[in-house]
Amino acid sequence: MPWSDADFRSTEVHLNHDIDSFYFQFIAIDTTPIIQYLANNKTNGVGISDRVELFFSEDKAMSTYYGLEIDSDLRILSFKSHYYRKVDLNWSWPKNILSLHANKNSTGYTVWGSIPRTFLKSMGLEKNNQILIGVFQADFTDVKNPNSVDWITWKSPNTPSPDFHTPAALQPYYFF
């Protein structure tokens, strides 16, 4: 099986909204948090650290989509991409748009935040009171082995190897 078969019921994801904002919260049970830093690197090590991830897509084909990956130190890996994996790491979420928070404790970490709906609409992400979103987590188990990662997705794309960059990993979120 390409995806981890570990028991991930201990990680909770909450998505919510009001008239002004889209809210998210990840409660990750992780007794072996791995946070790595890389000097002179656009991702600053977020891509090889435990993190939670949200992908927002303009359409079901992932013609254009935006990644927001956050580790427990609140470091962000932002990107804009076009299907398939034409990733632009020079794009980033505007700092004044995101409201992010994190808390670490003995059992893991929590990351939560919000994004204004006006921004989601201006980017063409909220259409007809819905967004297409992918919800993911990367949990590394060995700091010396970058391949020792459990890939967690809330909607399995059923790909032969772990891959979040596929339309099958998206699900609609509705603003009522």
Structural domains present in the chain: 12-174 (2.60.40.1190)
Q: What span, in angstroms and rounded, lies between the C-alpha atoms of 168 and 107? A: 31
The mean-pLDDT minimum among 13-22, 26-35, 55-64 falls in: 26-35
CA distances from 168 to 59, 70, 78, 82, 139 (A): 12, 22, 21, 15, 21
> CA angle at residue 60 from 91 to 83, to 5 degrees?
45
Q: What is the pTM of this model?
A: 0.92
Average pLDDT, the chain: 91
> CA angle at residue 155 from 91 to 146, to 5 degrees?
60
pLDDT, position 3: 52
pLDDT, position 2: 39
| Percent share of the chain, pLDDT over 90 | 70
Query: What's the pLDDT tens digit per position in 58-95?
Result: 999 999 999 999 999 999 999 999 999 999 999 999 98
CA distances from 49 to 35, 59, 74, 101, 160 (A): 5, 29, 12, 17, 23
Q: Would the pLDDT of 8 be above 60?
A: no
pLDDT, position 73: 93
Q: Would the pLDDT of 6 be above 80?
A: no
Sole residue written with tokens 């980017």: 123
Q: Would the pLDDT of 40 be above 70?
A: no
Backbone angles phi, psi at 37, to 5 degrees: -120, 140
Q: Is the link from the previous residue into 84 a cis peptide, with omega within 30 of 0?
A: yes
CB–CB of 65/85 below 8 Å?
Answer: no
